[in-house]
Amino acid sequence: VEIQEDFRDVLRFLWVDEDFFQSSFNWKNFLKHLVTYPMKVVPFGLNASPFLLNVVIRKQASLCKDTYPKEAEILDKSMYVDDLTVGADTEEELIQLSSNLNLILSKAKLPLVKWITSSPTVSTSLHQQSFEMREETEQDLPITKILGLCWEPNMDLIKYDKYDKQDFRRCTKRHLCSLLVSVFDPLGLLASALLELKLLMQRTWVEDIGWVEVLSEEYQSRIANWRQFFEKILCLEFPRWVEGQLPEPEEEKRSSAISNVVNLVIEDSDFELELARQSFWFSPDLRAIAEEGKVHKSSKICKYRPFKDNKEFLRLGGRLDQALLTSEEKHPIFLHHSSRLTKLLILDVHLQLKHGEVSEVLFHMRKKFWILRDRRTTFHRANLELKTWGTLLSSSHISRFFSDKGIRWSFIAPLAPNWGGVWERLVNLVKDKLRRVLRQDTCSLNVLDMHCKEISSIINSRPLVYVTESDGNEFALTPEHFLTGNIPK
């Protein structure tokens, strides 16, 4: 990176001329032969050198973005200081990428040198193009480093450096921490091997051991055993590229035992879930429909006029065929109240609604599913949980937090709801959901804006009338119908 002439005098290098070495040394003669040389290019070692190099590379990439879009993206994302790491799906593509990348940076007087590759074909091609390689021969390529990891190009393997074997005769908590962080493992391949040390470190905090306090013999013994074990682990070699192939759908279906119980199908960003074709909970009803076309009068779901759709789901019949609703909303899928799946679905909707109330959860559940009787316990349990969280959010700890942050509230007079009216209730709903979502966390303005938009959508999709838990095939209007004319999702 060249320096402008006006700024070259800022960076000078002190030296002596050639005549000084022809005579014997003395200080007077030494001072007479002193010379200074201004720097023409940015030297290594300056605080700003890495930044200036990065700026020049990114600038060059932006200038070539239209002509070489892929190469520009590689220079922008795969350059680490002065090292470039790049790969491709085919050798031909990699050769072309290498040529283009070298051409782009050569225009900025920053040619790429010391190339090294695991492919003999690519290496031969780069030699023919007069690329400056790390080694003149393709055999016995040296082990090099890629972002701190050892890479053996001949076998295309990733290896680990030997960690620092410090002699801890009187091991302390500080030594234990030093040993733990001395292992460089950015890929997490050694995470399970480091678990023993991490648990020991965690235990020192539980036992309130000081940093310079000598650890007990039990600690010393476990650390010594771990070091012997870890030395063997470091001898392992990992392939840099692991070849894999996705199984065909039919093969996956034959090999997966769980597919006989649960079948998951993704279509049009929606989901269909079949739990053993509902045969566990509704086997008599399914058998009756298959044999007689309808369920027996003694069945609990007889009054719902159930039917099986073309995918063998047991759905609610009802009287909403002419309603302007989706097919799922007209005929939701039956779920049994004792099913574990039912409880998980209720919990999922409850969390999506930012800990919504019972009627809200019930309203949104009925868009896809119809839960049979005895679901009262599940919903009322959720209601009790909401009350518990409400008590926590109104605790003195939260009050102190508001005080520390300088947040002051202006309240209307007590026992005067007419001062607020309906809007006070809506404000309360928004605050309640924000409290439940954010709790004690602080967030950025963008995150707060996202939460407010989600809560606004939830508030506007609430039913305008009370949705009872009694059986009945009813559909309630929401503000969303009047605001946008759309059915809330």
pTM over 0.85: no
Cβ atoms 340, 347 nearer than 8 A: no
Q: What span, in angstroms and rounded, lies between the C-alpha atoms of 438 and 448?
A: 9
Tens digits of per-residue pLDDT, 3-52? 888 888 888 888 887 777 777 777 777 777 788 888 888 887 788 888 88
- pLDDT level of residue 266 (50, 70, 90 thresholds): very low
Q: Which of 72-86, 176-190, 214-228, 420-434 has the lowest mean pLDDT?
A: 420-434
- In tens, the pLDDT along 422-448 reads 777 888 888 888 888 888 788 888 888
Mean per-residue pLDDT over the chain, rounded: 77
Of 70-74, 162-166, 254-258, 332-336, the range with the highest mean pLDDT is 70-74
Q: Which three-class secondary structure state does DSSP give residue 484?
A: coil
Q: In angstroms, rounded to a whole number, what is the distance separating the alpha carbons of residues 201 and 180?
A: 9
163-172: Cβ within 8 A, 24+ apart: 163/230, 163/234, 165/227, 168/223, 170/214, 171/214, 171/215, 171/219, 171/220, 171/223, 172/211, 172/212, 172/213, 172/214, 172/215
Closest by Cα among 197, 191, 192 to 215: 197
Name which of 28-42, 226-240, 322-336, 365-379 the model is least confident about.
365-379
Contacts of 75 (CB under 8 A, 6+ apart): 57, 58, 60, 61, 84, 101, 104, 105
Please state at what angle helix 376-393 crosses helix 421-438, rounded to 10 degrees: 90
Tens digit of each residue's pLDDT (9 = 90 or more) over 463-478: 887 776 665 555 678 8
Residue with tokens 């001949």: 154
Residue 479 and residue 464 in contact, taking contact as beta carbons nearer than 8 Å: yes
Given this model, what pLDDT does residue 201 score?
92
Residue in the block written with tokens 């309630």: 476
